[in-house]
Structure 1
Amino acid sequence: MWMWPFPEWVIEQAKHNSILKGLIAGFNLDDSDLASILDRFKDEKLLLGIRNIPDYHEKDDWIVSDDALRGMSLLVEREIPYHVLCNSPRYWKYIPDLLKQFPQHKFAIDHMGKPVFEDQVNSGWDEWIGEIAKYPNVFCKLSSQFFPHTGPFTEKEKRGEFSEDQKKYVKKCVELFGVDRCMFASDWPVCAEFGGIASPRDMYVTAQALLNHLTADERQKIFGGNCAKFYNLDLH
């Protein structure tokens, strides 16, 4: 679960819900108070990672600015994973520079790097995601392809039937990152805003269908095992 901007409140709610195993916070990497913020939550086991939305920053290269890199160093010191969100291909070119500077730190690429955004196919995604997959410390979250980006679901999508392109993106990520570095992410409750698939379970079933070419053991890794490994979770 992603939380922003009220981490204390969200964490308190999570403590009363056994379904939630962890939270991803929206603390800004370039916040001058980031060290004290992280120290405030240093004993909070539910805090599993940090994510930022690049659109909230003025410059496209914000993620590799001096302030952001200083913030990333604080995450590295505390072994807090970072989620890379690229809402537009204009951010892609800066991610390899980030990864090169922190080769031992855990990163997760959210939404597979958005091969499609607002119904537009982002050319160059194949080459970019291929480069990112070469970093062994980077995991890929298989999400965003299990629901349409704009407008209501089609009748086929409501039944869990997706286009060949949607299948292609998911399979490409599994091929590049391998079954040991891919993690399923439901996109719920965002997906419910568009109609059709309206629950985490529905999304789970749909994703399972898209990955039915894998063995049961391989799917177990993607739908739980890799997540536990990435976040050091005990799911038993």
Structure 2
Amino acid sequence: MTFEKYYSQDEVVNLTQDLVRIPSHKDVPTREKEVAEYIYRYCRENGLEAEMQNVDGVRKNVNIYLKGQGRGKTILFNGHTDTVPPYQMIIDPYKAEVKDGYLWGRGSNDMKGAVACMITAALALKRRGEKLPGDVIVSAVVGEEEKSEGTEMLVMSGIKADGAIVGEPSNYEYAIGHRGLEWLEIKFYGKAAHGGVPDEGLNAISMASKFIEEV
């Protein structure tokens, strides 16, 4: 299956630049709202079936669908639209300049570039005009840098796939799995005692240290 004639490198670069130029980190009041709206509009204008998925009233996932023939497996491509803040970057984080063969800007690598590639791949499949045996889903989700709220909402919404590819940068290495994550709040209660009779007290720090060692 050949795709080169159904997309161009400039198309991928231009889309990545557009996404990078929209700030979408935790210090932006509307977080990923603007970049999600851009992706949704871009997909609809280019003939892709897309939907906005509400996460918390302001923040939105964008899910893109390529329906297949109904006789194959479903593959899901997942990428996040949030970034870390620019911090003290020595370049303009949102200029998205191409220099020496690289696109420079906050999120170009992690991971708006990958999101742009996924969307362009979906467009290439659409333009080719031949349905695959199964469905293709592209999910551009919020909140990966903090609590994964976007992917959690995606799962809870009931969207199903037989396999998934996450476009997270990995130094060109393939990763076939990932550690899980569980947020826990554990409280340790001590008992105050006079320094002259320490045996009558309980040291919460010591208990917490022993717990951490066991974990």
TM-score normalized with structure 1 length: 0.26
**In proportion to residue count, which structure has more strand?**
2
Q: Higher helix proportion, which one?
A: 1
**Per chain length, whose mean CA-contact separation is higher, i.e. which structure has more relative contact order (CA < 8 Å, sep 6+)?**
2
**TM-score, normalised with respect to structure 2:** 0.28
